[in-house]
Amino acid sequence: MSEIKLIVGLGNPGAEYTHTRHNAGFWLIDELAWAWNARLKEEKKFFGEVARVTRPEGEIWLLKPNTFMNRSGQAVAALASFYKIKPEEILVVHDELDIPCGRIRFKLGGGNGGHNGLKDIQARLGTPGFYRLRLGIDHPGDRNLVVGYVLNKPSAEDRQAIDDAIAKSIQGLPLVLSGQWEEATRFLHSK
């Protein structure tokens, strides 16, 4: 059973995207770096901001790709290849339209649900076999409204629900990192 060696938060670089729903993965990495007292630094060869953290479970890399969402796989593949991290040792944290705002889903593999960041990571790694931590952001109700929805700020109430989900995710991470998949899933999926 592999342990997680790389946690990737998906989002878009740039001040205009900082507070948008699509950056929920970035928000989690920022909170995690703060909680773990890690400093994210720009690394051009990994196309993003990275931090190496020594934890009781071992060494873990944090990554925020500086490519845009649809090229997230470039950063993930570069770091994973350099440090010989297998796909099943990667946890990708991303926003999820198909989950109610503030809810969390944790799983290994699966489809990409139309998420461009996941599509690119799957293409670059050559497999969907990596872990995902899906942060619910809700759906606008009409697929024609999705792009505008994910690239805009959530309401204060929705942002609080997402922040609460991020805090719960960080609380559940030790279960994930120690390979207690069932316990992690039970904890993260509970209300």
pLDDT digits (tens, 9 = 90+) for 127-144: 999 999 999 999 999 989
What pLDDT, on the 0 to 100 scale, is given for residue 75? 97
Q: What is the pLDDT of residue 39?
A: 96
Choose between 113 and 76: higher pLDDT: 76
Mean pLDDT (whole number) for 153-157: 95
What pTM did the predictor assign? 0.95
Q: Give the pLDDT of residue 156.
A: 95
Annotated binding residue at 116?
A: yes
Residue 55: the pLDDT is 87
Find out whether 12 is annotated in a ligand binding site.
no
Q: 131 among the known binding-site residues?
A: no
Task: Determine how many CB atoms are found less than 10 A away from the CB of residue 168.
Answer: 18
Q: What is the pLDDT of residues 45-91, one digit of tens each?
A: 999 999 999 988 789 999 999 999 999 999 999 999 999 999 999 99
How confident is the model over 99-119, as a mean pLDDT?
92
Residue 144, marked binder: no
Q: How far is CA 186 from CA 6, 104, 107, in A?
A: 22, 11, 11
Q: What's the mean pLDDT in 90-104?
A: 95
Q: The domain 7-68+77-110+123-189 belongs to what CATH superfamily?
A: Peptidyl-tRNA hydrolase (3.40.50.1470)
Q: Residue ranges of the domains in the chain?
A: 7-68+77-110+123-189
pLDDT band, very low/low/confident/very high, at 2 (cuts 50, 70, 90): low
What was the pLDDT predicted at 112? 85
Q: What percent of the chain has pLDDT over 70?
A: 99
| pLDDT of 1 strictly over 90 | no
pLDDT at 57: 78
Give yes or no for residue 117 having a pLDDT over 50.
yes
| Residue numbers annotated as active site | 22
